[in-house]
Amino acid sequence: MLRQTEPTTSTLQLVANDMTGIMEKLDTRELDLEDGEYDITDSNAAAERLPLTAIYHTVGFKEPTAKVFLSSPITAKILEVERFTSAQDRFNVSNQRSVSKSMPAVFKIELKHGEFTWLVKRKEKHFMDLHRDLRTYKTFMRLPLPSRSHTVKRQTVTRSEVRQMPNLPRGGGDELGREEQVSSRRKQLEDYLNNLLKMPMYRNYHATMEFIDVSQLSFIHDLGPKGLEGMVQKRSGGHRIPGMNCCGRSKMCYHWSKRWLVVKDSFLLYMKPDSGAISFVMLVDKEFNIKMDSKDTETKHGVRIDSLSRSLVLKCSSYRHARWWGQAIEGFVQKHGSAFLTDHRFGSFARQEVNIPAKWYVNGKTYMEDVADALEEAKEEIFITDWWLSPEIFLKRPVVEGNRWRLDNVLRRKAQQGVRIFVMLYKEVELALGINSGYSKRTLLHLHPNIKVMRHPDHVSSAVYLWAHHEKIIVIDQSVAFVGGIDLAYGRWDDREHRLTDVGSVTLSHMEQAGSASANMASPSNGGGAAPQTNGKGIFTVTDSLDQPKLKGQGRMKRTRFSIRRHLQKHGLAHADSDSDLENDERSGSVRSLQTGVGELFGNTRFWHGKDYCNFVHKDWIQLDKPFDDFIDRHTTPRMPWHDIASVVHGKAARDVARHFIQRWNFTKLVKPKYRSMSYPCLLPKSHTTAGEQRYQVPNCVPAKVQILRSASDWSAGIKYHEESIHNAYVHVIENSQHFVYIENQFFISCADNRHVFNKIGDAIAERIIKAYREGKRYRVYVVTPLLPGFEGDINTGGGSAIQAVMHFNYRTMNRGDHAIISQLRREMGDQWINYISIAGLRTHADLEGKLVTELIYVHSKMLIADDNTVIIGSANINDRSMLGKRDSEVAVIVEDSEMVTAVMDGQQYQAGKYALQLRLECFKTILGGHTDPSIDVSDPVSDHFYKEVWMATCARNATIYQRVFRCLPSSDVRNILELEGYLAKQGLDKEDPARAHEELKKIRGFLVQFPLQFLCEQNLLPPIGSKEAMVPMEVWT
């Protein structure tokens, strides 16, 4: 970079020429290089790489400990010499000045180091300045100064190196004459530079590094190719922080600071030279552009860089310097970062990536197990952001390895190994929510200094009272990313059994114990050298491994503290299926046997400890700082099962999820003063160019086309225009679906009236069904949503204002009022709508200490499947909060299959996607009872037989039985609050005739029940005037 201002008048040039003369007299013979003073490195040696973690250890530029270079040599080559007679000439402006005042020549130098190549431009004067600098440094190194740091510096430099220094041959000053003079000078300077770069003492000197534009961030492999770097002046301000813009654009508000700018393929940053701290990161996005006119930059020799999040103004040393920088930054980003410069499909910040290994999860059990294993594999960074995080949850259950798989223990273990862990929590309005993020933050911060936790937003200072960070993301090393609806929090862990009760403690069944004791077995502390065998029953055993103690005694009934099968899976020796952990035929005699992957578990097992055993409609969480104290009596109250969906993606798609997290982290660091300290570092996104180097992959993935979607805006991510790509994708997929759409969602609030509700998902469903009706085509829509909203309240007395407010908007979307989907369909097709759309909920029952109990299953999923080939999984509910982009922040993935399998659609053979089909089959089997009753055929999602005789029949039958046995709510027999009492006064079979009730319940299949569309239909469900719910704006509920 051209640091010093250029001589523009002949006087200055005379001075410069004089200086060159003086400089030359200082170059004496003794500085000639002799053989043996070179840094001899084998250029063919395996290239070592600087790890990404180097970004967390940057030091001041003049510190001798700064780690900059790789072990390979650096070579320089002068490509060309630019010469212009005057500044105006270069840009073809009419020339009034005399031509004699020619401008100094600029040498364009190409440098190579390992896998990196970059260009710098330097004038002869810069060579002279560097040489003078190095001479001073050399003299300084010879003096035995008394300071300790100087002694260290001197000791690290070999004596011979201090003696030697390359000679800078005498040149004719900046004004080079004839061509041959130029080419010989070029060769001289090239040799000088190459010699200099071979000597570690001079190469590692900060002035040399600045001369060749390198810093501690130049050669980090995962940050991609090396772009432009150099010292600049940057102007303060220009951020897009909602509610915090500088009044007026007067010069008074600004101050200039000296910073080292680094340009990479998808971002740029600047560092403070004195401390090496990365103080600002700007991600390249669709608004990224560079302006060099003084009217745009409002400064002389300025360069203005705009993006969605900031308008950054830099000041260069001259006109040519500013031009070269502006063009170089633009050129580099266009070449390497073009993927980020445009808007992508659905208006997303991320493009669709192909051949991405992806996997889905139905329910928290398999999800949390894979999360635990992936966290265990982390080597550099872990990013976590959740709406709610409970540090004490167990990721693998039942708990048979002590606290090893408790979330806080896993994170502490990784932090102790040097992994950097960054957690962002939603900072709730404490009056409205009891999730106690303050406790979660304190608990995590106390674990280890490598764990950093931020909370956002500050509701008072940011004026964001109503909206939440709702996304649930876990990213490991920026190359594995979990995205979905499952927070790492209480109540979320569940499996396909959806148990209501949890009283006993864990014991393995007799069969499993006999099997485990019959083989000589290794203890779980060591998996080294174990080889799998099968003992005929399909149970894996382990042959003698090293000299571990063995369990003896054929068939002796002991409680086994751990499972062989889990142990083998942990070391990759036994196969565990991705969707359902190892089904086997040997069943124990329990009523509902339990497939856990730790063998058959016997008796009533303890899965949910303390606060994890919950029923939040019955009672909201309290005292979260006492994680292992029950707050619900598990002997009288059933838990509320949790049905949820998540996914994992890898490679470039995971890089995009990480990029979103990084954008939010850096934005939060900027807006909350307490996070500005250096202990909360800025995060840097890894380059897409290295995304293929996958060190760890979650097992049993399917390659697919994946695109990351999000809801983000100024308050949540600091971007100028909001993004609602999830909403756009939902509408697009519904409009373009051919056969069916299957939706599971925690909310169903849609159908725009453009007054209270604005998202268009419900309208897209209605329009697509009307299109099918008019064309006479078969088309189905399945919607599964919770029977009641997840707010504390007693439904026996009407549920309370919060539950009713959400019910109002749910019903307004389904069947009440002119905008509702069913109302729109009725106007077009009368009662035929029933052949096109089915809305259902989930419910289950159990025997709790001799008493029959029932409870709804809380559907928390946010998923859409279309045509068995397209899936959207994420954190976004079907409501305005999640979908509009300006409200809650959300992340989702859209997965489109690239691997096809033969399936059935409407009685015909059909090419279905592997990912989407397997996910739909798992969901359908779980909720229709196909896992326990193999006669239930769910292969064809649209045929009349399936829709009417399996889906609708199961819905109706289950709902009728539950109502007869339990008189449960919500029910279509209760149309207003007055009818509630009478309905509840009549006893169900569970009280009148328990034996008959048991018989009836045997006819239940799966969990699916019809949604009670007429429940409280004569009641106004909006919050009554005067209630606290009526005080908050309507948008809270939509």
DSSP 411-452: HHHHHHTT-EEEEEEE---TTT----HHHHHHHHHHH-TTEE
Backbone angles phi, psi at 141, to 5 degrees: -70, -20
Q: Distance of CA 100 to CAs 84, 185, 459, Å?
A: 11, 22, 65
pLDDT digits 0-9 by tens, 767-797: 999 999 999 999 999 999 999 998 887 887 7
How many Å apart are CA 612 and CA 610, to the nearest integer?
5
Q: What is the pLDDT at residue 624? A: 75
Quick check: 601 pLDDT over 80? no
How many Å apart are CA 875 and CA 646, to the nearest integer?
9
Quick check: 40 pLDDT over 70? no
Q: What is the pLDDT at residue 1014? A: 92
Tell me which of 162-176, 307-321, 580-594, 955-969 is least confident: 580-594
Q: Distance of CA 914 to CAs 146, 701, 918, 919, Å?
A: 72, 10, 6, 9
Which of 624-633, 856-865, 969-978 is modeled with the greatest confidence?
Answer: 856-865
Quick check: 11 pLDDT over 50? no
Tokens representing residue 695 in the block = 């060190």
Around Cβ 908, how many Cβ atoms within 10 Å? 9
E-strand spans in 906-1033?
Answer: 908-913, 1008-1010
Quick check: 459 pLDDT over 80? no
Chain position carrying tokens 């239940």 = 1004
Position 71 confidence tier, pLDDT thresholds 50, 70, 90: confident
Q: Distance of CA 993 to CAs 551, 757, 968, 996, Å?
A: 50, 47, 16, 5
pLDDT digits 0-9 by tens, 981-1027: 899 889 888 888 999 999 999 999 999 999 999 999 998 988 888 87
How many Å apart are CA 640 and CA 617, to the nearest integer?
8
> Is residue 877 within 8 Å of 746, Cβ to Cβ?
yes
Quick check: 928 pLDDT over 80? yes
Which of 122-126, 277-281, 536-540, 598-602 is modeled with the greatest confidence?
Answer: 277-281
Quick check: 12 pLDDT over 80? no
808 CB contacts (<8 Å, ≥6 apart)?
1021, 1022, 1037
Quick check: 92 pLDDT over 50? no
Tell me which of 32-46, 122-136, 212-226, 499-513 is least confident: 32-46
Q: What is the pLDDT at residue 151? A: 58
- Residues 16-37: what's their mean pLDDT? 38
Tokens representing residue 1008 in the block = 């699916």
What's the pTM value of the predicted model, to 2 decimals? 0.85
Around Cβ 618, how many Cβ atoms within 10 Å? 16
> Is residue 739 within 8 Å of 905, Cβ to Cβ?
yes
Quick check: 856 pLDDT over 90? yes
Tell me which of 158-162, 262-266, 448-452 is least confident: 158-162
For 223-235, the three-class secondary structure string (H helix, E strand, C coil) is HCCCCCEEEEEEE
Quick check: 665 pLDDT over 60? yes
Q: Which residue has the higher pLDDT, 521 or 229?
A: 229
Quick check: 18 pLDDT over 50? no
Could you list the active site residues?
470, 472, 477, 860, 862, 867
Q: What is the pLDDT at residue 5? A: 40
Q: What is the pLDDT at residue 432? A: 66
Position 294 confidence tier, pLDDT thresholds 50, 70, 90: confident
Position 150 confidence tier, pLDDT thresholds 50, 70, 90: low
Quick check: 33 pLDDT over 80? no
Q: What is the pLDDT at residue 733? A: 98
938 CB contacts (<8 Å, ≥6 apart)?
920, 921, 924, 925, 928, 930, 946, 950
For residue 549, which amino acid is it?
P
776 CB contacts (<8 Å, ≥6 apart)?
none
pLDDT digits 0-9 by tens, 178-207: 566 777 888 888 888 998 898 888 888 999
How many Å apart are CA 171 and CA 150, to the nearest integer?
34
Quick check: 465 pLDDT over 90? no
The mean predicted confidence, pLDDT, of the chain is 81
Q: What is the pLDDT at residue 161? A: 56
Position 104 confidence tier, pLDDT thresholds 50, 70, 90: confident
Q: How far apart are the first and last CA of the chain?
A: 55
248 CB contacts (<8 Å, ≥6 apart)?
none
- DSSP of 673-710: GGG-STTSPPP-PPPGGGTT--S---SS-EEEEEEEEE
Quick check: 649 pLDDT over 90? yes
Q: What is the pLDDT at residue 171? A: 58
Position 538 confidence tier, pLDDT thresholds 50, 70, 90: very low
Of all residues in the chain, what percent carry a pLDDT higher than 70? 78
- Residues 353-362: what's their mean pLDDT? 97
Q: What is the pLDDT at residue 399? A: 86
What b-and-e string marks burial along 31-45, b requiring 16 or more CB atoms within 10 Å of the CB? bebeeebebeeeeee
Strand partners, 842: 1008
Q: What is the pLDDT at residue 362? A: 96
Q: Which residue has the higher pLDDT, 927 or 147?
A: 927
What is the distance, to the nearest Å, from the Cα of residue 381 to the centroid of all Cα atoms in its chain? Answer: 12
> Is residue 915 within 8 Å of 702, Cβ to Cβ?
yes
Q: Distance of CA 547 to CAs 543, 550, 791, Å?
A: 11, 9, 55
Q: What is the pLDDT at residue 65? A: 86
- Residues 587-605: what's their mean pLDDT? 42
Return the ∠ at Cα 55 (arms to 49 and 57), rounded to 5°: 105
Position 563 confidence tier, pLDDT thresholds 50, 70, 90: very low
> Is residue 475 within 8 Å of 657, Cβ to Cβ?
yes
Return the ∠ at Cα 922 (arms to 746 and 388), rounded to 5°: 35
Quick check: 509 pLDDT over 80? no
Closest CA to 423 of 673, 668, 622, 653: 668
- Residues 253-268: what's their mean pLDDT? 89
Q: What is the pLDDT at residue 155? A: 58
Quick check: 874 pLDDT over 80? yes
Task: With both helix axes pointing from N to C terminus, report the angle between 994-1001 and 953-966 in degrees, rounded to the nearest 10.
Answer: 170
Quick check: 673 pLDDT over 50? yes
pLDDT digits 0-9 by tens, 742-776: 999 999 999 889 889 999 999 999 999 999 999 99
Return the ∠ at Cα 368 (arms to 423 and 928), rounded to 5°: 135
Q: Which residue has the higher pLDDT, 514 or 1019?
A: 1019
Q: What is the pLDDT at residue 959? A: 96
Q: What DSSP character marks residue 728?
A: H
340 CB contacts (<8 Å, ≥6 apart)?
266, 283, 284, 285, 286, 288, 349
Q: What is the pLDDT at residue 178? A: 58
Q: What is the pLDDT at residue 647? A: 97
How many Å apart are CA 811 and CA 748, to the nearest integer?
8
What b-and-e string marks burial along 56-92, b requiring 16 or more CB atoms within 10 Å of the CB? eebeebeeeebebbbebbbbbebeebeeeebbeeeee
> Is residue 364 within 8 Å of 643, Cβ to Cβ?
no
- Residue 357 preceded by cis peptide, ω within 30: no
How many Å apart are CA 1010 and CA 686, to the nearest integer?
48
Tell me which of 459-473, 518-532, 869-883 is least confident: 518-532
